[in-house]
Amino acid sequence: MPKLADFKTNEKSWWCPGCGDFGVLASLQKALVDLGIEPHNVAIVAGIGCSGKIGNYINCYNFHVVHGRTLPTAMGLKLVNRDLTVIAAGGDGDGYAIGGNHFLHALRRNVDMTYIVMDNQIYGLTKGQTSPTSKLGFKTKSSPDGNIERPIRPLQLAIAAGATFVAAGFSSDVKQLSSLIAQAIQHKGFALVNVYSPCVTFNKVNTYDWYKEVLINLDEDPSYDPTNRGAAIQKLIETDELVRGLIYKADQPSFQELYPGYRDEPIVHQDWTLPEEDFAQLLAQFH
């Protein structure tokens, strides 16, 4: 069985002291240990931004991709090597702005993988500009008079687009967040975990104290049914998506289960040894 130390690296973090992403990192490492998954069976595909460094701090396969291309890379990786636990990770800018198109189609395809979004409502790496999830009136370096663009609603969008697992976490609550991530990894299909992860340097509005006061914990509401799609969307509308816990889960076939031939011998297990004469002939064709 793996230990927590097995998933740690010696690389010094460049995150600001107090950054919410530390809680996401700890939660992800704990979830992997709790599930008994070995480091060599995990692959993290991370995007651009502060949150994109998370793969450097977890001892496993790590693929750092260009801005907005986290999900197609992760989906391709999972389809080729089904034995890997594939986790895509990034921020609200990487995932919901430049990566928004890929996000939409990943939801409807339902590839068996997990997507963790560290949502801090601001661009932290570029020193504090408005992000896709910044609220109306939010003042930043790019919106000194207040944001005039309506924020995207990623949780409602995810359910409407066909997501089969949607959860929201708070980086300050490692116990709940690690449980949500573990559930997402075990889910057979595309699983979104949107994490409210405060930026202590550039966002002085959406702070730890603010989230502790406003977030509603759905896991503590015995009357809430996460299998009711309509009720889940209605709850998100009523609360302005300020919730945490399991929001929606549906039991539907994943992309892999529906793909013709996927149940055949995996590509990575097939013998791709090429006879010397065939290799020489192949080289001659491209000489």
Task: Provide the residue ranges of all domains of the chain, joining segments of one domain with +.
Answer: 4-285
**Helix 70-80 vs helix 100-109: crossing angle, to nearest 10:** 30
Torsion from C-alpha of 20, 15, 68, 208, nearest 10 degrees: 20
Confidence grade of residue 267 (pLDDT, cut at 50, 70, 90): low
Q: Which two tokens stand for residue 237?
A: 């509308």
| Mean confidence (pLDDT) of the chain | 94
Which CA distances in Å does 267 have to 11, 73, 98, 262?
33, 17, 31, 10
User: Sign of the CA dihedral 40, 167, 252, 108?
Assistant: negative
For position 125, what pLDDT does the model report?
87
> What's the mean pLDDT in 192-207?
97
For position 260, what pLDDT does the model report?
84
Percent of the chain beyond pLDDT 70? 98
Confidence grade of residue 268 (pLDDT, cut at 50, 70, 90): low
Above 80 in pLDDT, residue 263? no
pTM over 0.75: yes
H or E, element range at 4: none
Domain at 4-285, CATH class: alpha beta
Where do runs of H (alpha helix) occur along 94-253? 100-109, 154-160, 174-186, 208-214, 229-239
* Residues near 133 by beta carbon (within 8 Å), at least 6 away in sequence: 92, 96, 119, 121, 151, 152, 154
Instruction: Give the lowest-confidence range in 127-131, 148-152, 278-282.
Output: 278-282
For position 161, what pLDDT does the model report?
96
Contact predicate 195/116, CB 8 Å: yes
Above 80 in pLDDT, residue 148? yes
Taking 3-state DSSP, the helix, strand and coil percentages for the chain, each rounded to the nearest 5, stand at: 40, 20, 40
Query: How far is residue 15's CA from residue 26's CA, in Å, rounded to a whole number?
Result: 14
- Residue tagged 């069985």 (tokens): 1
> What's the mean pLDDT in 18-46?
97
Confidence grade of residue 273 (pLDDT, cut at 50, 70, 90): confident
Q: Which pLDDT tens digit goes with each residue over 218-258?
A: 999 999 999 999 999 999 999 999 999 999 999 999 999 99
Which CA distances in Å does 58 have to 5, 11, 24, 39, 52?
10, 9, 11, 9, 12
Confidence grade of residue 278 (pLDDT, cut at 50, 70, 90): confident
